[in-house]
């Protein structure tokens, strides 16, 4: 991923993949005087590598991202090499990032794609991760300007986090990211220098099986989902909403390739029927087609029950940018 650039003046360190820093999920707004506020986007995290005007896009787990419409604009950034951090999104009619709209691309749709850039880790051979946030932001702003077309500079606000969160909720946004004043960039760490606060219960879950179709629905009825805890996949509900006919067919074809004879969930059958939804008894389980726990789905839901089951879950799309083994239960939104 890049080569050393020979010049008359120096030999530059090429831009190579740096694992992105992670935000720690919290359910309380911290004090107002220590944080920069940013919008939490709902898309794919992207690490951008630039070497001699040749851009590359990589996911957070170092898989190539195929968004060719972004490459011409990235190639025009005036630098010899750079490593940038951002989020690839599709914007809905209100101008908000929307994961379901982004997923339409996999079904042959062509939503307008935007890359919001919010950090810079290397520029012209110089590593910047030890620099404080404000200095990195200054360098990024100088490099990009305000951005245009498919490239945008992610806005940063110096306001009270509680006030900013209230505004994101008012506008129907997913939530906010907080970045501590003066903090360095910590690759592949979730140190608490970056925090995420959500307005909407939404996260990734692992698909471990599906039920047969009922009534007029084709292909399958619901997917069974879970998350990993201490190396074990724990069941947390069935999802039957969020699918249209084309999506049912596409997912079913993927499922048949990874079918297995036994349940991957460590906590099934359930000891008792949950308050909401159908219980996963041995009789119900005999109707399920089990899957290798490889596919990761983005799910929106109302809340977690006391039984550890999701209420009113809705399928938003598959995530190719996160490994199933990395999926954990996240904290609830504020006020839940």
- Over residues 230-238, the mean pLDDT reads 96
DSSP state of 34: G
What residue has token string 């360095």?
Answer: 184
pLDDT for position 334: 63
DSSP count for the chain of H helices, then E strands: 6, 23
Residue 1 predicted with pLDDT over 80:
no
- 8-12, 105-109, 262-266, 304-308, range with the lowest pLDDT: 8-12
pLDDT at 155 over 60: yes
Dist CA 78 CA 290 (whole Å)? 50
Cβ atoms within 10 Å, residue 62: 12
Structure tokens at 146: 């305000």
Mean pLDDT of the chain: 91
> How high is the pLDDT of residue 314?
96
Please, which pLDDT band fits residue 9 given cuts at 50, 70 and 90? very low
Catalytic residue among 22, 40, 238, 325: 40
> Where residue 10 falls among pLDDT bands split at 50, 70, 90?
low
Structure pTM? 0.84
**Among the listed residues 148, 154, 153, the one whose alpha carbon sits nearest the alpha carbon of residue 73:** 148
Torsion of the alpha carbons at 79, 81, 84 and 90, rounded to the nearest 10: 70
Mean pLDDT for 56-63 is 95
Looking at residues 268-283, what average pLDDT do you find? 73
Task: Please check the confidence at residue 31 and state whether its pLDDT lies above 50.
Answer: yes
- Contact (CB, 8 A) for 132 and 151: no
pLDDT of 274 > 80? The answer is: no
- Quote the pLDDT of residue 276: 55
102/272: higher pLDDT:
102
3-state secondary structure of 285: helix
Question: What does each C-alpha distance from 256 to 210, 215, 290 come to in angstroms?
Answer: 10, 21, 10
Task: Report pLDDT for 32.
Answer: 80
DSSP 165-224: HHHHHHTT--EEEEEETTPPP-TT---SSEEEEESS-EEEEEEEEEPPP-TT--S-S-EE
Q: What is the C-alpha to C-alpha distance for residues 106 and 68, in angstroms, rounded to an integer?
A: 14
Geometric angle at alpha carbon 161, from 158 and 164, rounded to 5°: 80
- The span from the CA of 277 to the CA of 273, in Å, is 8
- Mean of the pLDDT values across residues 332-336? 63
Q: Which of 96-100, 103-107, 325-329 has the highest mean predicted lDDT (pLDDT)?
A: 325-329
Give the pLDDT score at 6.
47
- CA triple 246-248-253, angle to 5 deg: 100
Task: Check pLDDT > 70 for residue 277.
Answer: no
pLDDT of residue 5: 47
**Strand intervals (E) in 218-279:** 223-229, 232-239, 259-260
Q: Is 292 annotated as catalytic?
A: no
């Amino acid at each position: 991923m890049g080569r050393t650039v020979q010049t008359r003046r120096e030999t530059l360190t090429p831009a190579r993949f740096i694992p992105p820093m992670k935000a720690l999920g919290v359910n309380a707004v911290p004090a107002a005087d220590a944080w920069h506020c940013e919008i939490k986007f709902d898309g794919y995290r992207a690490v951008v590598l630039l070497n001699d005007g040749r851009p590359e896009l990589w996911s957070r787990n170092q898989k190539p991202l195929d968004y060719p419409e972004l490459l011409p604009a990235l190639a025009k950034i005036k630098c010899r090499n750079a490593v940038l951090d951002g989020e690839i999104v599709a914007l809905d009619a209100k101008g908000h990032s929307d994961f379901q709209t982004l997923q339409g691309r996999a079904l042959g749709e062509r939503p307008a794609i935007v890359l919001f850039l919010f950090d810079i880790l290397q520029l012209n051979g110089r590593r910047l991760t030890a620099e404080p946030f404000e200095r990195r932001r200054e360098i990024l702003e100088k490099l990009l300007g305000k951005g245009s077309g498919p490239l945008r500079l992610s806005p940063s606000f110096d306001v009270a986090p509680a006030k900013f969160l209230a505004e994101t909720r008012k506008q129907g946004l997913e939530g906010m990211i907080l970045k501590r004043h003066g903090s360095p960039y910590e690759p592949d760490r979730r140190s608490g220098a970056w925090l995420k606060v959500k307005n909407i219960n939404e996260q990734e879950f692992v698909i471990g099986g599906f039920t047969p179709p009922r009534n007029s629905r084709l292909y399958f009825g619901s997917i069974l989902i879970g998350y990993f805890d201490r190396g074990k996949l724990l069941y947390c509900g069935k999802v039957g909403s969020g699918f249209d006919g084309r999506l049912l067919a596409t997912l079913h074809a993927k499922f048949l390739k990874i079918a297995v004879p036994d349940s991957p969930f460590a906590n099934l059958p359930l000891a008792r029927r949950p308050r909401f939804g159908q219980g996963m008894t041995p009789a119900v389980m005999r109707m399920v087609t089990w899957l290798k726990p490889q596919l990761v789905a983005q799910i929106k839901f109302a809340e977690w029950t006391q039984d550890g089951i999701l209420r009113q879950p809705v399928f938003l799309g598959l995530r190719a940018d996160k490994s199933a083994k990395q999926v954990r239960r996240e904290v609830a939104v504020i006020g839940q």
